[in-house]
Structure 1
Amino acid sequence: MITHLLSAADLSPEQAVEVLDTAEQIENSLAGREIKKLPTLRGRTVVNLFYEDSTRTRISFELAAKRLSADVINFSAKGSSVTKGESLKDTALTLQAMGADAVVIRHSASGSPHRLAQWVEGSVVNAGDGTHEHPTQALLDAFTMRKRTGRGPGDDLAGLNVTIVGDVLHSRVARSNVLLLDTLGANVTLVAPPTLLPVGTESWPVKVSYDLDAALPKSDVVMMLRVQRERMNASFFPTEREYSRRYGLDMARVGALGPDAIVMHPGPMNRGMEIASDVADSARSTIVEQVANGVSVRMAVLYLLLGGKA
């Protein structure tokens, strides 16, 4: 296994499948246990270094580390020396001096985890950096796809048709998913308004479409992305109503999907905008499963990064 997980591109097909298989083994090991804990990382210290607000990812990593019996330190930029002007490097050196075995970092600046990996001796896990990447989200999405499509241990996602819809421009989840799904053999189509597609997508291993209705019948998985209004400093579409009409997933559009197709969303959702509430709460939706699977996948990542170290 690699030393750090900074990008979904860091993983070879074999390593990606190993993470998914390990997550499944961990899930099976904890099934039926009254106390959901494994002693694998007893004595190790995992620091959650979060410079951005987060609910799902931070709690998921904290729970994953604790279920592996690691000691967990939660660091929030608010209320820390960061508010006094301390740099990322000085914070990293402080963590290094305290003996952190792994640092899970979320930061608003793209590339921060890569810089941090140069300053600390422990493993670094990227929990989201700016609009760049979010590799563990892509892994839990792939894990969810594999389970829902009836594939098992050792299987990749070869031949699966995945359509990613919405605000690709600001989405680190989309970037990581494109890289990982290509590694695992899936066919990816991006559907978005031209204004919400990054420059250079022609070099990505994807097809690009502006017509959601044309893409849906061929999709095994539809992944809706949140419209990240907090990152928008210009008008990327006329109105929310117009965006929802062209690129929102409602029950009428779900009717165009195949009988076994599933609907995903990394959360948090703008209900009624990119996804209708009845779709989000339907049997096709895997949104709650994705949250649960995130703990198993992040346990697998921490175990593979730290479990084999002396």
Structure 2
Amino acid sequence: MSNTKLIIEERAANIGNFMVGRLLPFKQKRMVGPFIFIDHMGPVSMNEDENMDIAMHPHIGLSTLTFLFDGAIMHRDSLGTAVEITAGAVNWMTAGKGVVHTERTPERLRTSNKTLHGLQIWVALPKAHEQCEPSFTHVAADDIPSWQHNGVHFKLIAGKAFGKQSAVPVYSPLYFIEIKSSDTKTVSIGDFLFGESALYILEGSITSDGHTYVPKQLLVAKDSTLCAFEIEANSTVYIFGGEAFPEERFIEWNFVASDKDLLEKAKDDWKTGKFPEVPNETVRIPLPPPIRSGS
């Protein structure tokens, strides 16, 4: 019997001037552990007249995790942070009670050809930390735990697993793992996982229980402790998950909360200008109109 509970196909989504492949949330699976939102961004090639420009927008109740495969993004936020992230590093911004940020192509790349490819992830905060003070952490690529086992390359981007711990300051038990192999290998890691678990195929393929899975598929496991598969040569996959929360999480626009009243307050605060602003930024993304069913 297959350990795959659900297969989620990457769906196209528009985030302003950028098209992405959305993985979570999904109608049949809103979260995997504390992971509530995942976009596969790119790969996209931009010329000297094209740039990423996501103006000021707010968040509450979550931590954002940006992980790039290629390219660079300049992050600025209402805490005064100004950090360029490049491939292999992690930007981890905890919104808590409220933070505002922008994401743009760095000045050094704005008049040249460039590419951008990566993952944008939201991790919901446990209820006790939903209204914490916002914070930001940048972890350099060289500071992320990485190792080899049986010819397979592992990287622990966030959380705890395999007796190791990432420097990313998470707020609940979770893991976000990169697995790469240049040769076909058997990977059996269920003994190191816990809670809910999912696997995303970036490139190549995997085979499990006689089924082959390919890129742009997210596989949600029935039981994380049974996670075993054959990774084909020249493949890269990401495994993420952790302990699920006891309470439901609600998501609306850029806001996540266990209480819908917090969502309504955040929407009102953004409309009335009560969120802090990003230094030297003037353009705000307006609150989108409510989605009306049946129209």
Whether these two folds match at TM > 0.5 is no
Q: Which has the higher helix share?
A: 1
TM-score normalized by the length of structure 2: 0.31
TM-score normalized by the length of structure 1: 0.30
